[in-house]
Amino acid sequence: MELPVINETPAASAGGCSSHSCGTSDDQLGHLSDEIRSKVENHPCYSEDAHHYFARMHVAVAPACNIQCHYCNRKYDCSNESRPGVVSELLTPDQAVKKTMAVAANIPQMTVLGIAGPGDPLANPERTFETFRRLSAEAPDIKLCVSTNGLALPESVEELSKHNIDHVTITINCVDPEIGAQIYPWIFWENKRIKGVKGAKILIEQQQKGLEMLAAKGILVKVNSVMIPGVNDKHLAEVSKIVKAKGAFLHNVMPLIAEAEHGTFYGVMGQRGPTQDELMDLQDSCSGDMNMMRHCRQCRADAVGLLGEDRGDEFTMDKIEAMEIDYQSAMEKRKVIHEAIAEEMHSKRAAKVEKAASHADEPKLNTRPVLMAIATSGQGVINMHFGHAKEFLIYEASPNGVRFMSHRKTDLYCGGDDTCGDGESVLQQTIRSLAGCEAVLCSKIGYEPWDLLEKAGIVPNGEHAMEPIEEAVMAVYKEMAAAGKLDEAAPQEERATA
């Protein structure tokens, strides 16, 4: 069966207009028990492999929060911005149910509904559980998830387990209250505001208790940690060990986003976020013990689509009210499509294993690792024009194989505004965002970017269109090795400034 194009809405396929979105890698999936694998293999956040195929959505039903984090300001919204805590439209549970079913019917690859704010879902238990209750009854084929700071988690575990929720994310930024006091100015606990170390200590205890209770019930837990340089960066490897020991399945270390205009304490105080290298180094240092999520896009609390894609504008409440949804027939169509995707993923995995076995006798390369940037719109293949990419996926090729590392966002230069605020062209800025990469693989590329990429020391490559990403990356790596390019030291980062 031919899989539908993920960006295509039924309106688009009927000739209307279309618009432009943990984890464990597929290698790691191979080592999971059947039960856990069935929970993660079509979850775009829990499986790196799945995020190329399956989409997620968040419904913003939870406005209030029971703590304050120094990096969060839910009042600042920009519809062009994809950032946690940001929403365009707050929904009632009834609206959230309608929206979820409309999206699931129109984007059959949408497998997961999460509630992640804009505040804390468990600080809004009636709205959150009403939404889950109705969805588990009316749309039982959708996986339900929740993301929480953990303060109200222990008292909510029983209720969560009633609604078919087998994934919970807890944000745990520290296990030391002294560090916690630098992140959380206060918590609201037993009808009182509790400040400083005392508040942080209660929060940490509740998070750890909630984590243990979820693990005991077999609910998969992902831990989110915001990396805040100079505050908790040196501490997060210890957090990773502790949460793993208590049963967390996955650790997602995310960079702090702090801009003065967002009006957060950190933004105003000039607290910086980590560099790409600092983030990757920390993720690597945690990864010995833990499954690390590296493909998180730090979604808005009302995100819709593949990770990295936001199709929220297609599903505003006024548009949804005008849609006629027959969820029974939508569910049948979804099932067929999910099975086809699972089959495609399975055969790609099997082909990869077979290919690796056929190369097993080849002498191992003795070359340095290389980062490559990939333009893709999903399905695990190189299928995007350089100029259409809103983000690039970054892979590392080395003698040990190919692994996904991160993503880099870019402003769309093709068809978009040509200059950025600082006078640099959008194309120059895009190329600068690829610093450290030595090749870009895309389906097509124009003369101008080709030229500028070469000048920046990045090899443009449009020869692997529609090929599986990892195979193409390895093929280019071997070509670079054969051409003797990997005997030299890696180019300096500055070279990537066109």
Ligand X SMILES: C[S@@+](CC[C@H](N)C(=O)[O-])C[C@H]1O[C@@H](n2cnc3c(N)ncnc32)[C@H](O)[C@@H]1O
Q: Site for ligand X (CB under 6 A): how many residues?
A: 20
Residue 274 binds to ligand SF4 (criterion: CB under 6 A): no
Residue 171 binds to ligand X (criterion: CB under 6 A): yes
Using CB under 6 A as the criterion, what x/- string covers residues 132-151 for binding ligand X? ---------------xxx--
Query: Which residue, 90 or 452, has its beta carbon nearer to ligand X?
Result: 90
- Length reported for the chain: 498
Residue 116, contacted partner among ligand X, ligand SF4, none, CB below 5-8 A by kind: ligand X
The answer to whether residues 148 and 155 touch, using CB atoms and an 8 Å cutoff, is no
Q: Cβ of residue 10: shortest distance to ligand X, in angstroms?
A: 31
The CB-side HSE value for 262 (13 A sphere, CA atoms) comes to 22
Residue 117 binds to ligand X (criterion: CB under 6 A): yes
Token pair of 53 as six digits: 């195929």
Q: Cβ of residue 261: shortest distance to ligand SF4, in angstroms?
A: 17
Strand partners, 144: 113, 165
Using CB under 6 A as the criterion, what x/- string covers residues 74-93 for binding ligand SF4? -----------x--------
Applying CB under 6 A, which of residues 57, 61, 72, 105 lies at the interface with ligand SF4? 72
Residue 305 binds to ligand X (criterion: CB under 6 A): no
Applying CB under 6 A, which of residues 226, 236, 303, 402 lies at the interface with ligand X? 226
Q: Cβ of residue 122: shortest distance to ligand X, in angstroms?
A: 8
Query: Which residue, 71 or 395, has its beta carbon nearer to ligand SF4?
Result: 71
Strand partners, 110: 55
String of DSSP letters for 438-478 = EEEE-SB--HHHHHHHHHTT-EEE-TTTTSBHHHHHHHHHH
The dihedral built from the CA positions of residue 293, 348, 384 and 2, taken in this order, carries a sign that is negative
Q: Which of residues 239-278 bind ligand X (CB under 6 A)?
A: 254, 256-257
Q: Single out the residue of 372, 313, 379 nearest to residue 340, CA to CA.
A: 379
* Rounded-to-integer distance, Cα 107 and Cα 402, Å: 30
Cβ count near 335 (within 10 Å): 12
Residue 153 binds to ligand X (criterion: CB under 6 A): no
Using CB under 6 A as the criterion, what x/- string covers residues 128-167 for binding ligand SF4? ---------------------x------------------
Residue 441 binds to ligand X (criterion: CB under 6 A): no
- Containing 120, the helix (H) or strand (E) segment is none
Any idea which residue has 């399905």 for tokens? 379
Residue 296 binds to ligand X (criterion: CB under 6 A): no
Residue 147, contacted partner among ligand X, ligand SF4, none, CB below 5-8 A by kind: ligand X
Residue 128, contacted partner among ligand X, ligand SF4, none, CB below 5-8 A by kind: none
The answer to whether residues 429 and 421 touch, using CB atoms and an 8 Å cutoff, is no
Token pair of 222 as six digits: 């992902």
Helix axis angle, 327-358 to 469-482, nearest 10°: 30
Strand partners, 170: 148, 223
Per CB under 6 A, residues contacting ligand X are: 65, 71-72, 84-85, 116-117, 119-120, 147-149, 171, 224, 226, 254, 256-257, 298, 301
